[in-house]
Amino acid sequence: MYATDFRSPAQARERGSATLAALMLAITVSALCLLMITSSRVSNERARTRMQGQKAFYVAEGGLDFVLSQVRADQSWPLASTSRFPTLETDGTFVSGWIPLGDSAGEFQVQVNYQSRNSLPTSWNQPGLPDGFELSSNVAVTDRTAALPAYDRIEIAVTGRFGEARRRVRASVRFESRLFRAAIVSDSPPLQNGNGSSSGKTAAIKFGHVSFKPGNQYIYGGIHANSKIISQGVGQVDESELATAFSAYDGDLQQELYGTADEIPDYTSPGSTEQLFDFGRFRAAAAAGAGQVIPGLANFITVVNAANAAGTPLEGIIYVEVDAAVEGNSPKLQMAGGINVLGTLVFDFVNPPDQFYKVFILCPLNVNPATLPGNFDPADPSTHTTGYPPVVSAGKDPRGFAIGSLTYEDFPVDADMPAVMFNTGTVDFHGAANVSGAVYGPSFIEIENKDDNLQYFIGTILGGGGIFLEGNSNPGAAQVFNFDPSSVNTLPTLGDGASSPVIQGYIIGD
């Protein structure tokens, strides 16, 4: 027997509408659920992509830090490391393989270019740059066993890869000296247990101090010393005694740094590979034509007198070899026209009995001399000028000069060449002086104002075996030491030990 539906047609229609509504609601809910699932999946994918992209960026930055640490230790690292940089492209680009940053931490690839600045055409006299002019060009490298050619900066591009994401960072790096940042710097440790009462030359020679004999002495840029700073009549100088010890003083006073976190590294061990400069490199450049190698003081005197008679300074690296066995004790230089050099004056002592074997310069010494104004005042730094960098004839300028040696790298075209440097002996300055640039003496440095002169040094004094500076209280005499950072920023140091990479430009992406 069949059941009978007693509902009216209207009731049946209402039931059908309810069923349809329920069905539509179910479809809508299902669609919303599907949309939410899809949206969630897309959001998760986007989040994963963002996360991988961020991690790839971190990998690229970590790779850049790794590269900077390597070139800080050895600027030739990309050139020399064929395992890390197996590819050298025709445009001079060194390309590494993919280097893992760590376990499951992504990997990075490095591209390195050594670049040099391009000079504007001599005929260009308009504002701006000529059409198509490139500020720099890649340095061509064809032989990876040869010394690195001269360059101005390193361009580094690092691509980080994490999962499917890649990010790139680029940096333009220049090397600058960050250690020697004062008018007078001594890295000599305390040689003995000297006390504050020791003064004069004894304080410098015996104890390794920076020692002053007062008299019209003007210091601008501060003094940094591993040992003590001593002034005769004052003893050890502290901040409260600067006005008593010096005619003028500006800059910080840092002393007894030896054994502290601020200790000045030893880059002045005479005759060793721990010196600031590679003397052989300077000699090679001079011998190749960027200056001249002069054996013996007698020959040096002849060369200087000839240049003075011609009214022209010596140019480039003037490398003077001083054989103690030939010169005898206490040789003296006293040329009527003084010593006039645009470039670097080097004294290389051969077989000295000790580091205190001296050459005395009694005549005026002008190395990259500053043109001082008529209103020059030792007490007014605004009247102080510099002759650095010197304008050296193209054929004599060691910066960018092709040395042509497999042993020595060319000097970069933007290298800050020292003004005066000497090795395993002492140059004792007695006469007038006008010197722009760094003065480097790994042994003892002695500057004495004996004849009421102006002794003007703008750059820095770098000593390693004690420094003695004797002023002069007579009217008209003055001894000025003014720090010029532009003369030491890119010193061509031995093994680049005293230089640090400085990022001058940083770009994220291509």
Instruction: Determine contact, residues 79/141, Cβ cutoff 8 Å.
Output: yes
Closest CA to 481 of 221, 159, 107: 221
| pLDDT 10s digits, 420-440 | 999 889 999 999 999 999 999
| pLDDT 10s digits, 363-385 | 999 999 999 999 999 999 999 99
480 three-state secondary structure = strand
Q: Is the peptide bond before 389 cis (omega within 30 degrees of 0)?
A: yes
| pLDDT 10s digits, 323-337 | 999 999 999 999 999
CA distances from 126 to 120, 130, 224, 255 (A): 11, 8, 45, 51
Q: Hey, how many other C-beta atoms are within 10 angstroms of the C-beta on 151?
A: 26
CA distances from 490 to 12, 341, 497 (A): 97, 21, 12
HSE, side-chain direction, 13 A CA sphere, residue 372: 19
Tokens, residue 456: 């003007």
Give DSSP secondary structure letters for 134-193: -SEEEPP---TTSPPPP-SEEEEEEEEEETTEEEEEEEEEEEEE-S--SSEEE-PPP-S-
Instruction: Evaluate if pTM is beyond 0.85.
Output: no
How far is the C-alpha of 437 from the C-alpha of 386, rounded, in Å? Answer: 9
Instruction: Report, in angstroms and rounded to the nearest whole number, the Rg of the chain calculated over CA atoms.
Output: 34
Tokens, residue 166: 């890649």
pLDDT at 196: 45
Tokens, residue 106: 């992504």
Backbone φ and ψ for 44, nearest 5 degrees, come out as -65, -40
| pLDDT 10s digits, 460-510 | 999 988 999 999 999 999 999 999 988 887 777 755 555 666 666 777 776
Tokens, residue 343: 């470039």
Instruction: Determine contact, residues 482/248, Cβ cutoff 8 Å.
Output: no
pLDDT at 270: 58
Closest CA to 487 of 398, 336, 367, 386: 386
476 three-state secondary structure = coil
Residue 12 above 60 pLDDT?
no
Non-local (6+) Cβ contacts of 48 within 8 A are: 163
